[in-house]
Structure 1
């Protein structure tokens, strides 16, 4: 049977290929050729399942024969067109040569394999599995889809679990940390980089490096900013950049300071930035009566008013009034007689006048006339602050003075007839008058119930025009009243010991004050260069916790506060500073080339730690210069030492002492307190010399040299 089969095949092959054929068959002829009747090898061959190698590689098969192998239409329909393509590609001069083509067998055998060529994405596929007329792509992690061609975005689907930034990639993802962090071994977690620990010199020398999550900062002290290029700390000009102050801003090294114009009545608020008006903390008795006349003169000692009175023939000249004063010295009135002559020169040549004044608290009478002159002082004390009735009578033979209807002074002086009128100058001298006894004509006094030769109303005010009459305070006590905004100036003479290599000098200042406002300059000493050598002031601060006012007496040298009394927190009523208590407070200041000492109400105020005095050396009420020794370790950089050295150098010159504030020509920045003092001073002395404010070189109008208004509730 086998031999016959082989013969059958050989004969068939000979019959088929014995005639010449073209080198390549067309597809149509190939189909016809392949569509021939299939020949069985043996009786059972047709009953066997087809074999692709035998049916279509070793032989040429047609569509039906390929279906026999696949036994289904989808695979057959997929296979056969591709089979024809292989036939076209690999057929030689004769179909018999197909078996000898190396690529023919592979081309046909690969057609049924759905994974050759692989339909799966080359990157996203792990493996391709051939199925019946189908395939399956096994995707790698991060891919999906029929052909594993779709990338899974793990970042959007929340599968990445990155701490900071997730970056999607083809088939995967990447976690990235923010600047200042590094990635941990799990490639997802981020940990802060401690740059300061890694490089302690990162910010530069002596500059603090502070690590923060993800970054670091270079911290400079308050008021400084960091310069990254130079790695240094530079001062911030807050005044220029922030403009934090309402009025005056002073840039300082590492900060700034806000100031207010104290001379305008402003002080710094508790926020240390805005300004507020100075608080008047005591109400004073400023009530006046129209029937009372204040005769205190102005700075030039001009009279308050001039009254010209006609004198009838053979009539005594009588001047009567009530006087109240605490002033120990000053001119009450000056009366000049005018005679019946033809020329003003003849009138003046007679030299006929009288002057009633107070000296050492008693009445004093001077007179001059055609027949001579005289001088007398006596009677009771009249500067006790009580109303005193005074009458002055001039007859043809004498001048008599009465106090409370009792004659106290008599000056015999014959008068010549021909008096036409009397000019009465009250509270000052006329410009041409010259009196015999040298005295300060300024008098702080009040008049009432006056009668000038029968007239009861003063008239004809002297220059300056419009000065008129000033009111007289009804309730007063001894003291010098500063209403605020006004100064009284004195000259301090040379206080250095002459011809001494290291001259010793001492300035002792004593005073009592009663404040009507919360702050103000009691005294400032200024040189001709307009430098404030030292100042004594009532200063106020605020308790940072309770926000209540604190008051103290401070001593400053230039712009540095060097001594401060113990701050007192509460006054007699809520919200009032401590010194606003209706009471008089004592201040004692000692300055010398040995040191400085300050007492307020008998309590040592030498409190700063760098003070030149040891607190153990402080004596509450008495002190000797031996106790005052400069700290030998102090240098001229110490503000006290520097201030004392500067003050001692200027004592070779005449200095100006201003009570009640600082002069307008002084820079506001040269002293910590610039507010005018509102209140009263008394018992003011410099080096044991009791000051009379009538003697000041510039007594501003409004300052009452010897009368201080009482507190409003006085007498209740």
Structure 2
């Protein structure tokens, strides 16, 4: 019953709406209106009723109610969406009765209005630029987006350059454009397959892009004009220019730029050598350890090369006090002053050594004398020396055995106002004293211990020297000259020989460090000839001869950096160079190059030449010679037949021991061993 009432209500509503929408200028006749409302059934109407509803047939050719529309769409959402708009279409167009035989009787604008109601894609709801098509749905639609677009209506451009869900895939630069993207390349690349950038080989495209001697080398996105090592290409002048590597701080020490390269130099005078990488500096290693222990109660007499005293004492004693001195003495030095005492400039006494024997000189208002005697005591052994002023003589004893008795009829020194004021200088002469009776070299490489002066015991000397290690002696020594690696000695030697010149050297060496200059000739800040120990490996070295900084001869021997000494002979003349040593192998540079080097040396030897032993002077620039380190070790050296006495040098570093070397090992245990210390 309720269905009948509902259908009747819907038909009545349609009739009312149709009446209100009748054309204002023309009303349907009663017959026509009856035909429209009564809707004749066609012959196949029974068959059609059994079929699924058809929009064209049910709602355009005929009028449909909401229930019939539901049968067409078969779902509620589309029906609810369609029917109100269908009623609006009926009200928007004039309705006429058309021929039953022709569809053309149905107004085309009504047909369009009705058919477009159920099509959600009409009017077109999608963003035209971003959509490909629209798919109609149940009261909805779906916009099919073109590649590069997204969104409900395809209105959002996809930024493929940034969106991780839609990566463009460009391997260099990416530019987003509406609906797409554009891959771009850096300079030096070209685009391949619209995505990937490929390097341009400029060297193949432009074979003459680099000027000789530079070579073109392709690099990613670029190219290089590579010059020989040490040069850099100038694109303006198209030339290879020298690179100043020193501006790049390539050296740890001193850097010298050269054409196409550079040189690193380490100042050997600071104890440094060039490392194997030829850039950094490292400490010169010790390859032979020495037993260089010192004793704080042994006074070293050779501290000052100037020959000045190492200790000065002043005594003020009763006028009848006699001069007396006793001490243990050890030296290898043949000459020097052990002790000098005075009460005035005209009243003095000197105890020294000449030719290894004791020498006494004294002068007072009564007499002056020079006397020497006894056996040579410069044998490196300890000897007890005593000097005593007696009533009418001066007694000198060695190891308690009298070796001199010098007549002295009056007192050795003169008292003043009932007091005997005596100044005692140990080792050397006072600065103003140059009027000894017989000239003597005051420098003395020796040691004293257990001293008793003027019968006053040690007189405080022990306390004075105890904290000054430079005044301490090595406990054990052997013959030779010891270089500590801190300085050199300078000599003036004439090498002329019968209108020509000759450098003839014989030396016994025992290097303690693997690098150091033994012998060098210097002229105007150049080093025309030098002989040096050069590091070979960690604890190995060889001996090299350099002419103007170029190695011309190399002597390999296992006796270098070895506890035993190596005897080496070197002879250099204007035409040849020869070096020999026991248990060694010698190699020379090629003959032609060697002769050219000797010719340059011959030219230099016509000028004044300075001789240095143990190093190169400070004013010689580092590039002048490959090795500038001071020699560290023991040696004795004879040049042109003359054995060099370093006490006779024109100058000598105070650290050099002229006549004594610490041994490699102690000969035996020493009673003072607990008090020993390293130098």
TM-score scaled by structure 2? 0.63
What CA distance in whole angstroms lies between the structure 2 residues aligned with 1:420 and 1:175?
111
Match of 1:656 in 2: 610
The number of residue pairs the alignment matches comes to 586
Structure 2, unmatched stretches of 5+, are 1-19, 44-56, 70-81, 97-106, 415-421, 670-679
2:532 maps to 537
Aligned to 2:294: 287
Task: Give how far 1:166 is off.
Answer: 6.7
Q: 1:456 to 1:702 in 2, by over 3 A?
A: farther
- 2: CA distance, partners of 1:157 / 1:418: 115
CA-to-aligned-CA distance 1:56-109 (integer Å, 9 cap, x gap) = xxxxxxxx9994379798697687678679x9xxxxxxxxxxxxxxxxx99899
Are the structure 2 counterparts of residues 229 and 438 from structure 1 closer, same or farther at C-alpha, using a change threshold of 3 Å? same
Alignment of 1:1-20 (within 5 A): none
User: What SS does the corresponding residue of 1:581 show, helix, strand or coil?
Assistant: coil
Listed one character per residue, the Cα deviations across residues 335-387 of structure 1 (whole Å, up to 9, x for unaligned) are 88x8xxxxx89x67xxx97876422x455677889999888877644333234
Q: Which residue of 1 aligns with 2:501?
A: 505
Residue of structure 2 equivalent to 1:327:
333
- Written as runs of structure 1 = structure 2, the 5 A alignment for 1:436-585 is 440-447=441-448, 470-493=471-494, 495=496, 498=499, 504-527=500-523, 529-540=524-535, 548=538, 550-556=540-546, 560=549, 562=551, 565=554, 579-585=560-566
Distance 2:296 2:140 in 1: 125
Shift of 1:476: 1.0
Asked whether the 8 Å contact 1:312–1:420 carries over to 2, the reply is no
After superposing the two structures, state which structure 1 stretch, 227-236 or 366-375, moved more: 366-375
Q: For residue 26 of structure 2, give the secondary structure of its aligned residue in structure 1.
A: helix
The root-mean-square deviation of aligned C-alpha atoms, in Å, is 6.0
Distance 2:470 2:248 in 1: 53
Residues 620-659 of structure 1 deviation map (CA, whole Å, 9 limit, x = unaligned): xxxxxxxxx7556x6xxxxx56xx62x4444344333233
Instruction: Please state whether the residue corresponding to 1:511 is helix, strand or coil.
Output: strand
Rounded to whole Å, the distance in 1 between the matches of 2:245 and 2:403 is 72
- Secondary structure of 1:710's counterpart equals coil
The residue that corresponds to 1:298 in the other structure is: 304
Instruction: Assess, with a 3 A threshold, how the Cα gap between structure 1 residues 429 and 201 changes in structure 2: closer, same or farther.
Output: same
Task: Give 1:33's match in structure 2, choosing from 3, 6, 26.
Answer: 26
CA–CA separation in structure 2 for the residues paired with 1:283 and 1:396: 49
What is the alpha-carbon distance in structure 2 between the residues aligned to residue 525 and residue 467 of structure 1?
35
Quick one: structure 1 residues 266 and 37, their matched pair in 2 at CA, closer, same or farther if it must change by over 3 Å? farther
**Structure 1: runs of 5+ lacking an equivalent:** 1-26, 50-63, 88-104, 339-343, 499-503, 572-577, 615-628, 635-639
1:686 is displaced (CA, Å) by: 1.9
Query: In 1, are the aligned partners of 2:209 and 2:216 still within 8 Å (CA)?
Result: yes
Structure 2 vs 1, CA of residues 152 and 521 (structure 1 numbering), >3 Å: closer, same or farther?
A: closer
CA distance in 2, matches of 1:357, 1:494: 31
Q: Quick check: 230-239 or 113-122, which moved more?
A: 113-122
CA distance in 1, matches of 2:164, 2:607: 91
CA-CA distance at 1:695 after TM superposition: 0.8
Distance of aligned partners of 1:107 and 1:656 in 2 relative to their CA distance in 1, 3 Å threshold: same
- 1:312-335 per-residue CA deviation (whole Å, 9 max, x = no partner) reads 99x999877654322234455678
1:513 deviates by 2.5
Instruction: State whether residues 282 and 580 of structure 1, in contact with CA within 8 Å, keep that contact through their aligned partners in structure 2.
Output: no
Please give the per-residue CA displacement for 1:450-483, whole angstroms capped at 9, x wherever unaligned: 777877668999xxxx999944433111111223
| Distance in structure 1 (CA, Å) of the matches to 2:141 and 2:387 | 145
- Give the deviation of 1:563 after TM superposition: 5.0
Residue aligned with 2:496, SS: coil
Cα distance in structure 1, aligned partners of 2:261 and 2:388: 73
d(CA) in 2 for partners of 1:668, 1:698: 21
Counterpart residue number, 1:681 = 635
Q: Distance in 2 between matches of 1:157 and 1:334?
A: 99
For residues 303 and 126 of structure 1, the distance between their equivalents in structure 2, rounded to whole angstroms, comes to 112
Q: Report the CA distance between 1:707 and its aligned residue.
A: 1.3
After TM superposition, the structure 1 = structure 2 runs for residues 347-426 of structure 1, keeping only pairs within 5 Å, are 357-359=353-355, 361-362=356-357, 380-388=375-383
Q: Kindly tell me: are residues 591 and 137 of structure 1, through their superposed partners in 2, closer, same or farther at Cα, counting changes over 3 Å?
A: same
Residues 1-38 of structure 1: CA distance to partner in whole angstroms, max 9, x if unpaired? Answer: xxxxxxxxxxxxxxxxxxxxxxxxxx999554274567
Deviation at 1:489, TM superposition (A): 1.5
180 and 36 in structure 1: CA distance in 2 versus 1, 3 angstrom threshold: farther
User: Residue in 2 aligned with 1:708?
Assistant: 661
Distance 2:61 2:316 in 1: 163
